[in-house]
Amino acid sequence: MTNENIAIYNAKTDELIVRAMTDEEADTRGNEIAVNAKIKAEQESATTAAKASLLARLGITADEAKLLIG
């Protein structure tokens, strides 16, 4: 079992329950973290490619673009 906790707040009763994650919850959390990391890396890669494409179309370098912006 993991040593991470889950906090559950009940707004109706103003009760806060803190308990240890189950193994299944910990596995799900680990999978979600891995998927989110993969998505973030893909988005960063796409952003980098789009920036490179734009700079190439404009015929300027990244340093020159920075000078134009500010």
Separation of alpha carbons 57 and 54, rounded Å: 5
- The sign of the dihedral angle between the CA atoms of 30, 36, 39, 45 is negative
24 vs 6: CA distance, rounded Å: 13
The structure's pTM equals: 0.66
Q: Is the dihedral of CA 25, 30, 36, 42 positive or negative?
A: negative
pLDDT tens, position by position, 18-63: 999 999 999 999 999 999 999 999 999 999 999 999 999 999 999 9
